[in-house]
Amino acid sequence: MDFMIAKLLGFVLVLTRLSAFFLVAPVFSWKAVPVRFKVALVLLIAIFFSTMLPSPAAPEEIVSLEAILMISSESVYCFALGLIAVLIFSAVKVAGRIVERQMGLAMAETLDPLSGDRSQPLGLLIEMIFILLFLSANGHHLFIMIISRSYESFPSGSIPSIPMLLEGVVRAGTTMLIVSLRLAAPMLAAFLLLLAVLGVFARIMPDMNILFISMPLRVGMGLLMMGIFLPFINQFTGEFARWMGKLLPL
C-alpha cells in the first residue's frame, strides 16, 4: 500500500510539473489548441515520465504536509520555466509592435486567433510566420527537452531556489527587450533616414504638407522593410533555442 502511495505521489508530482509548464508555455497554452488535446497530451507525457523516473521519497517517509509542499514547489518551478519561454518567444511580437508605432499603426487592432486577445495586425503577422518556421523546425520538441532536462537537474520534489527562478525571469524580460530592439533596429534606422529626408524637404519647400505626405511614406517604408526583413526571422528560431539554454534554470 505504501508503495502504491509513493508511485501515485510521483505521478502527481510529474503531472503538476507538466501542467504548470504547458499552462503558460508558448503554442500549447493558446486558446486555439483544444482543451481535450492539451489534457490528453499532458497525461500521456506524465505517464511516460512517471514510469521512467524514480519515486521522490521512500514510502515510509511520505508525510501529507511534505507532499503538499512538494506539489506546490513543482508548480512554482515549471510556471517560472514557462514564463521564461513566453518572454523569449514574445521578442518577435514586440519587434513588430515597435515597427507598427513607427508606421503610425499603433491604434490598429485585430483579433488574435491564437490567444483570443486583441493584437496589432503587423505584429500578429510576424508572430504567425515565426510560429510556422518554429514548428517546421520541430521547435515544439524543444519544450519536451526542457522538461526532460529539468528532471536531470532537479528530480521530482526538488526545485532551484526562489532567487534563482526570479533571476531567470528578470533576465528573460531583459533579453526580450534587447532582442526585440535588435530585430527592429534596421527598420528603425530606415524610419530615421526617412524622417531626416522629410525634414530636408520641409526646409526646402515650406508650403508642402509634410504631415499629409509622411503618413503613406511611413506605411510604405514599413511594408517594404518588413518584406526585406521576413526572411531573417528564420535565424531567430535557432537563437531562441540558445537563449532558452542560457536563461532557463536547468
pLDDT (tens digit, 9 = 90+) per residue, 50-69?
777 766 655 556 667 777 78
Other C-beta atoms lying within 10 Å of the C-beta of residue 151: 16
pLDDT at residue 89 in the model: 83
Least confident among 114-118, 158-162, 165-169, 181-185: 114-118
- The full set of domain ranges for the chain reads 76-247
pLDDT (tens digit, 9 = 90+) per residue, 88-121?
888 888 888 888 887 777 666 676 666 666 777 7
For 126-130, the CB contacts below 8 A with 24+ separation are 126/92, 126/93, 126/95, 126/96, 126/226, 126/230, 126/233, 127/92, 127/93, 127/96, 129/230, 129/233, 130/92, 130/233, 130/236, 130/237
Average pLDDT of the chain is: 78
pLDDT at residue 135 in the model: 79
- Kindly tell me if the per-residue pLDDT of 19 is higher than 80: yes
pLDDT (tens digit, 9 = 90+) per residue, 222-233?
778 777 777 777
pLDDT (tens digit, 9 = 90+) per residue, 169-180?
888 888 888 888
